[in-house]
Amino acid sequence: MTSLPKFLFPKPIITDFTLQNLPYGVFRSQNGSNRIGVAIGDKVLDCSVLAEKGLLPSYFKEPTLNTFMSQNRDTWREVRSKLQKILSDDAPESLKNVPNLINEALREQKEVTMIDPAHIGDYTDFYASREHATNVGVMFRGKENALMPNWLHIPVGYHGRASSVRVNQDLRRPHGQTVTPQEPETPKFGPSARIDFEVEMGAFVRGGNEPGKPMTLEEAEDNLFGLVLLNDWSARDIQKWEYVPLGPFLSKSFGSTISPWIVTLEALEPFRCSTPAQNDPLPLPYIRQSDGMKGGYDVKLECSIQPENENQDHTVCTTNIKYMYWSLAQQLTHHASNGCPIRAGDLIGTGTISGPTEDSFGSMLELSWAGSKDVKVGSQVRKFIQDNDTVIIRGTCEKDNIRIGFGECRSKLLPAL
């Protein structure tokens, strides 16, 4: 199978959205309705049109992907196979054979507005990168106490604010309480001075476990629908003051940005890989991976900053989700282990993904080492994000002539009100 249908793209183009990918999203049409779409090259296939013609299930006429997410993996595979045939050059079901339908069902990506792909009922952010947790621990507790005693036993997470998760949103610099080294116990209220990005990935899930019923690791694997890029913004100065004893609150809830296209786990199957070794200590049996289980994914991540009034963005770090210690399935299994019901459209964040080298640290907190170093951004420098900076995260996989991309997770930091 070629990477793009020639009847739509007679000339080759470089794209994240090949026939091997076919990610799902939701766009707003010119008449104001929200419609499910699939990205192919620089175009969007309007799935609601295909559903109206009986070529896809009726839930593709809905304004979100929640019902489709609630189906099982066999259904996801069946729909994916059908879409590949519809967009192929030589299958009997190909749009090539129905010219009028091509005009009705295809849109240019640049002409549509992408919106939230699902109703996100709940959002949980984890802390699954050992390198990131170690770096932060060294900064705040010293090298000897970098990892908390529970970290190698439990996928640490916290419940986030789903209402502030948005596709490629612009954010306001938030207000909150902060303290200074000179007055460490006397807070002041005002705009955060230390806004930071966090390079993460988010997993949309199927859910369906009854209240009180946990999931096995295998069931969790089958509950993972697909991945997006995620920038889980942080106000580090607010966070430092508020996170003891119950964890982050206002420092995180002001905004989390996701990319618009959900890349399915089926598309990412060729890029599965093993997680880092988990043998010292061994995880408890309910989240212990079997020998040879490949719970990770080889997805290259890049974060860049585009300063105000510049046309170019500048890479500040490159990392990979394969560095993540706790797998997505382990995170979801632990989430449901107390009987917490998971629902279709819930979002799980990986936490900041950092690698073993300084240029693979996934946050400005680490890149600037808590503000003690300058981070080069083109001809400028940063310690944290400045007003009107745009932060862009990209993700790609390439192997054996297969290219899968995620598009962009893009967000501008606006000045505080």
In terms of Cα–Cα distance, which of 170, 156, 284, 155 is closest to 233? Answer: 170
Give Cβ neighbours of residue 122 (< 8 Å, ≥ 6 apart). Answer: 159, 162, 343, 346, 347
Q: How far apart are CA 159 and CA 306, in angstroms?
A: 30
Known catalytic residues are 132
CA 286 distance to own-chain centroid: 25
DSSP string, 45-79: EEHHHHHHTTSS-GGGGSSSSHHHHTS-HHHHHHH
Q: How far apart are CA 250 and CA 176, in angstroms?
A: 7
Find out whether 132 and 362 touch, Cβ atoms under 8 Å. yes
Helix (H, G, I), strand (E, B) or coil at 335: helix
The pair of structure tokens assigned to 152 is 């190698």
